[in-house]
Amino acid sequence: MTPHHDTLAKQDIETLIHPYTNLALHQEKGPLVLERGDGIYVWDNDGKQYIEGLAGLWCTALGFGEKELVRAASEQMSKLPYYHLFGGRSQGPAIELGERLKTMAPFPVSKVFFVNSGSEANDSAIKLIWYYNNAVGRPRKKKIISRLKAYHGVTIASGSLTGLPMVHQDFDLPIPNILHADCPHYYRFAEPGESEEEFATRLARNLEDLILKEGPDTVAAFIAEPVMCAGGVLVPPRTYFEKVGKVLSTYDVIMIDDEVICGFGRTGNMFGCETFGFTPDMMTVAKALSSAYLPVGAVLIPEIIYEAMVDESRKLGVFGHGFTYSGHPACAAVALKNLELIEKRGIVNHVRSISPRFQERLTALCDHPLGGEARGIGLIGACELVADKENKRPFDPQQGVGAYCAMQCQKRGLIIRSLGDTIAFCPPLIITESQIDDLFDLFVQALDDTEAWVVKEGLR
C-alpha cells in the first residue's frame, strides 16, 4: 500500500461511520478503498481488479462507467442543476420520468411521488396510506404487516417494516402499528413432508388469522418484496402470492410491492410482480431506476389513494410531505436515460437468455460440502452455508463462516455479500455467460478455502 493509500485508509477510520459494519473491527482492519469501475469490474486504489458480484448494493444494473448515464447527468447539470417540486414548481426531467414510470408500471398508476432511496419510498408509502385512511374516515385502519426477514429500509418507519433483528436491536424498533407475518422460506420453515403449495397455504392462513386477530378494520396494508433479498434471497414458494392476494382482497388490505431490488429486469421481467404473477395496489422503486448513478426512488400511487390525498390537502390547505431533492432534475435525467438504455439494449431479454447459466452454476453449489440450499431467479441468487447438509444444521453465527467466505472471495478478486452464512449474488445485468463462469469459478475457489478452514478449526 502506498503512503497516500495508507493515509486514505487512516482518514477513513478517523472520519467515517460505515453502514452495516462491525465498527469496532473496522477500526482494526480499515476499509477496502475503491477507485474506479468499468462494466462488471471495480478496482481498488492499489490497482487490484474485482468482479462486483453484488452490483454494488444490488443496484448498478448497467454496470460501472456507462458513459451515456454520465453524459445525461452532465448535460442536465449544465442546464438546470437543481430545482424542487414544492409549491407547484416543476421541471422537465421529473415530469418525463413520472410519465415514463406510469406508462411502464404493471398496474394502473395515477401519480408518482419521488424520493431519494428505497427507505424513503417505503417510509412514504406508510405515511400516504395513513393519510389516505384518515381522509376516508378510517382512523383505526393503520397497521402495516411486513414479514420476518423482510428488508424495506432503515428509517424509523421502514426500519420497523424490516424484519431483521440487527435493524431493530437497541434502536427501539419496531414502532407501534407494524406487524410481522411468517417468513416464506420453504427450506427453513416448511414442516416435514409439507409441499411448497401446502406451505404457501399455511402461511396465507396464518396471515388471515393475524388480520382477524388484530381486526380487519385496523389493518391497512401488507408490504412484500417479490424476492426477499437482504433477508437471504428468499424466493417465495409456489402459489404464495396468489394465496396471499386473496386474503388481502377479502379484508380490504392494500398490497404494497417493494420492487427496490427486484425492479427493472432483475428477475427476468421488468418487475418482480410480473415474474410471480401478482398485481399490487402500490409500488416502491429505487436502486436500478438510475443504475445507482444518482440517488432516486419513487412511490407509484393508485387513483383511489390520490383522490383522497387531494381531498385531505384541500381540507388542510397543503399536502405536508416531501423532500428537498424529490424529483431532482439531474437524478431524473439519469433515470430516464437508464430506462431508455434498458429498453434499447434489450436488457430484460438479455437477463432471460443468460440467467439459465447463472442459475445452473448457482444450483451446482449444493454439491459442495458447505452448500446447504442454493436459491434464486433471474440474475439474483444465494448459497446458504451449513454445518450439516443432511439435517440443514447451520453454523453457530459466532463462528463467522459466511464472513470468512466473503473475505476469501475478496482476496481472490470477487466482491459479494455475506448475509450471515448466506452468500448473495446479484451481478450487473450486463454480465455475460463467460463472466458468470468467472464469478462462480472464483467463488468455488473461495468456498474450498472456507471448507479447509472449517475443517482445520473444527467448526462442525
Q: What is the pLDDT of residue 5?
A: 65
Query: What are 416's three cell numbers?
Result: 459479494
| pLDDT classification of 6: cutoffs 50, 70, 90 | confident
- Which among 397, 416, 426, 123 is positioned nearest to 267, based on CA atoms? 426
**What are 237-280's pLDDT values in tens digits?**
999 999 999 999 999 999 999 999 999 999 999 999 999 999 99
pLDDT confidence tier of residue 348, bands split at 50, 70 and 90: very high
pLDDT of residue 2: 59
Q: Is 448 a residue whose pLDDT tops 80?
A: yes
Residues 47 and 196 in one domain: no
- Model pLDDT for residues 134-164, shown as the tens digit of each residue: 999 999 999 999 999 999 999 999 999 999 9
Whether residue 353 sits in one domain with residue 335: no
Q: For residue 45, give every residue at least 6 positions away whose Cβ sits within 8 Å of its Cβ, in sequence order, or none.
A: 5, 8, 33, 34, 35
Is residue 4 in some structural domain?
Answer: no
**Looking at the domain assignment, is residue 26 inside a domain?**
no
pLDDT in tens, 290-326: 999 999 999 999 999 999 999 999 999 999 999 999 9
pLDDT tens-digit profile of 91-141?
999 999 999 999 999 999 999 999 999 999 999 999 999 999 999 999 999
pLDDT exceeds cutoff 80 at 434: yes
With respect to residue 127, please indicate whether it lies within any of the assigned structural domains: yes
Q: Of the residues 303, 324, 344, which one is the last residue of a structural domain?
A: 344
3-class DSSP state for residue 423?
Answer: strand
- pTM across the whole model: 0.96
Domain count of the fold of the chain? 2
8 found inside a domain: no
The per-residue pLDDT of the chain, averaged, comes to 97
C-alpha distances in angstroms, 232 versus 350, 398, 408? 25, 18, 20
The per-residue pLDDT for range 178-199, each reduced to its tens digit, is 999 999 999 999 999 999 999 9
402 close to 40: Cβ distance less than 8 angstroms: no
Percent of the chain with pLDDT over 70: 99
Q: Which helix (H) or strand (E) holds 384?
A: strand 380-385
Q: Specify whether 289 is located in the same domain as 391.
A: no
Please answer whether residues 439 and 431 qualify as being in contact, where contact means their C-beta atoms are separated by less than 8 angstroms. yes
Please report, for residues 69, 405, 433, the alpha-carbon distance to residue 40 in angstroms, rounded to integers and kept in the order given. 16, 21, 12
Q: Last residue of a domain, which of 325, 344, 363?
A: 344
**pLDDT at position 115, please?**
98
Question: How far is the CA of 281 from the CAs of 15, 134, 231, 350, in angstroms?
Answer: 43, 18, 23, 29
Are residues 201 and 267 located together in one domain of the fold?
yes
Residue 17 lies in a domain: no
Query: pLDDT tier at 3 (50, 70, 90 boundaries)?
Result: low
Computed over its alpha carbons, how large is the radius of gyration of the chain? 22
Burial letters 133-153, b for 16+ CB under 10 A, else e: bebeeeeebbbbbbbbbbbbb
Give me the residue label for grid cell 473496522: 26
Residues 389 and 333 in one domain: no
Angle at alpha carbon of residue 162, lines to 159 and 166, rounded to 5°: 80
Cis omega (within 30 of 0) for bond into 174: yes
| Cell numbers linked to 159 | 426500519
Which residue in 150, 334, 342, 346 sits closest to 260, CA to CA? 150
Q: Is 1 a residue whose pLDDT tops 80? A: no
pLDDT in tens, 65-78: 999 999 999 999 99
Residues 241, 268 within the same domain: yes
Handedness of CA 111, 117, 120, 121 (dihedral sign): positive
CA distance 271 to 193: 32
My answer on whether 329 and 359 are in the same domain is: no
- Domain residue limits at 392: 32-65+347-457
CATH code where residue 115 lies: 3.40.640.10
The CATH number linked to 425 is 3.90.1150.10
If asked whether residues 55 and 153 sit together in one domain, one would say no
- Provide the grid cell at 261: 431490488
pLDDT of residue 460: 83
Which residue is listed with cell 442543476?
81
In a domain, 23, yes or no: no
15, part of any domain: no
Task: State how far the Cα of 61 lies from the Cα of 332, in Å rounded to an integer.
Answer: 16
364: helix, strand or coil? helix
349 class by beta-carbon count within 10 Å (0-12 exposed, 13-18 middle, 19+ buried): exposed
Which of 344, 368, 398 is where one domain is finished?
A: 344
